Structure 1
Amino acid sequence: MPPTHHRPSLVAVAHGSRDPRALSTVLALLERVRELRPGLDVRLGHIELNEPLLTETLTGLNGAPAVLVPLLLSRGYHVKHDLPQAAAAAPGGEHIRIARPLGPHPLLVEALCSRLAEAGWHEEDGTSRSAGVVLASAGSRDPESAEDTRRMAQLLGERLGGVPVVAAYASALAPTVPDAVRALTSRGRHRIAVASYFAAPGLFATRSAAAAPWIAADPLGTHPALARLLLHRYEEARTRPYAVRRHELSAA
């Protein structure tokens, strides 16, 4: 493996949250990333609400190369617009690449299944005619974001043995988590789990969990698969010959 000091910095971009657990979770996740890749410069920047803000982090790089890895689970406005704009405005912006959002990806399925198991999901639930899962996510008006979330629901259902998994949203889109629970109940599914498709704790994750009629999994948080996925997205973007432009992000 080449020496990491020759590599661009990994700047993890979190949305930001008023819930103090979100920041502590992201910081712990980045410690996992550093353990997996000793010597790699790993930094954090927030889109809003928490410090350091992304603009401050990029300024602190003093024009050095970097890869922005969004701690976001699907395509949407932040990935397509906010990150390219921040990169373009930063010193040495021509040396900044932007990675794809984390999802959809099999490593996220691994993390979701692990969190469901921790909450009480058993392998035999995947073959039960009474079980179902709601994949709760933040939601976005961007149609590609919803497409990514539905794809994750499909991948999760396949991994769980074919149990129905319904994508639901805490904002912007339908169905809501309670609506998705009712839809599954109408199909005879009464053991309904909520899988928390959130990178960290926060208001949306808490509300979604409260709507679970059976079990609710924790957010992805510091799961080892998430740390591996951050590095995977970093390497994908690092090896591209040119910085990612907005039209490329839209087509990714």
Structure 2
Amino acid sequence: MTWSSYQPPLVLAVHGTRSALGTRISMELAEAVATASGADVRLGWVDIHTPTLTDTLRELGEAIVVPAFLTGGYHVTSDIPAAITAAGGLATATPLVGADVLPAVLERLDAVGDFDAVVLAGAGSLRPRAVAEVRAVARELSRAVDRPALAGFVTASSPTVPEAVAELRAAGHRRIAIASYLLAPGRFSEQLAEAGADVVSEPIGVHPLLVETIVDRWRAALAEPLTASHPRAVND
């Protein structure tokens, strides 16, 4: 008597970027997740690139979508559910990656050397929930490094990253760091170099903790009750 080894593919939902380096990082992340999980891993681009997430899900049918996003903005709360519905509704989405990768942000920040205060630079969103999530991570960051920390945003939200840097300078902090709360290099990360800080950390990239978190999301979804379309069968 043996158990079926069927496992739905893991679809990594990613934003997309016009940066060739950022695109390559996303592809390398998918490869690392495949190696760590043994899963059939596909990329589903939520913006900019093709195949879109909808295209990928239509090809696969049943799948587990892991949102490679740090906050619950529009793409996570609207675009990903819409893509699943448009593809036939056979896929399920896990919770986003989110703040579980803060230790990776801290590791990248540690590489820039000492500083008096830090701005956690998030992408920004029109969704209050997403903005609040970045501010909550900034508070955790402050406790972790025992330095003042503010949230700053590249777009759509305030304060902007340069405004947050200026606020810390006005408070008397001389050496200010920016902690990149971004997954991959691209237009947003390039703007951080011009934000007025003394040092800027690298985006998270293909960090082992990010890979582990994505695999954990997928495995947790596998443990959920299975759909009737693919029950785990017992064969005599």
One-letter code aligned to 1:18: R
Cα distance in 2, alignment partners of residues 84 and 238 from structure 1: 19
Query: What do residues 75-110 of structure 1 show as CA deviations (whole Å, max 9, x unaligned)?
Result: 11111111111111214x2x31111121122xx121
Q: Does 1:166 align with 2:153?
A: no
Q: Which runs of 5+ in 1 are unaligned?
A: 126-130, 244-252
Distance 1:194 1:201 in 2: 14
Counterpart residue type for residue 63 of structure 2: A
* C-alpha RMSD of matched pairs (Å): 2.0
Matched residue SS, 1:205: helix
Cα distance in 2 between the residues matched to 1:163 and 1:26: 31
Cα distance in structure 1, aligned partners of 2:182 and 2:176? 18
Aligned with 1:113 (options 103, 106, 121)? 106
Distance apart, 1:209 and its partner CA? 2.9
User: TM-score by structure 2 length?
Assistant: 0.89
Q: Measure the CA separation in 1 of the matches of 2:99 and 2:47.
A: 24
Contiguous gaps of at least 5 residues in structure 2: 228-236
Partner of 1:76: 73
Higher helix proportion, which one?
1
Q: Which residue of 1 aligns with 2:37?
A: 37
Q: Percent identity?
A: 36
Pairing 1:44-83 to 2, within 5 Å after superposition: 44-61=43-60, 63=61, 65-83=62-80
After TM superposition, give the deviation of residue 32 of structure 1 in Å. Answer: 1.5
Note the alpha carbon deviations across 1:133-186, whole angstroms, 9 max, x for none: 1110110010110111111112222221x2111111011111011100011112
Contact kept in structure 1, 2:125 and 2:157, CA below 8 Å: yes
Matches of 2:43 and 2:173, distance apart in 1:
41
Greater Rg by CA: 2
- Which ranges of 4 or more aligned residues in structure 1 deviate by more than 3 Å? 236-243
Distance in 1, matches of 2:27 and 2:222, equals: 22
* 2:161 counterpart (164, 177, 181): 177
The answer to whether the 8 Å contact 2:14/2:45 transfers is yes
Report if the CA contact (8 A) 1:153-1:167 is conserved. yes
Q: Tell me the residue number matched to 1:247.
A: none
- Please say if residues 11 and 42 of structure 2, whose CA atoms lie closer than 8 Å, have aligned partners that are also in contact: yes
**Matched residue SS, 1:119:** coil
Q: CA deviation digits over 1:22-54, x for unaligned, max 9?
A: 11001111222122112x111101012112211
Do the aligned partners of 2:57 and 2:91 also contact (CA within 8 Å) in 1? no
C-alpha spacing 1:84/1:242, structure 2 compared with 1 (3 Å):
farther
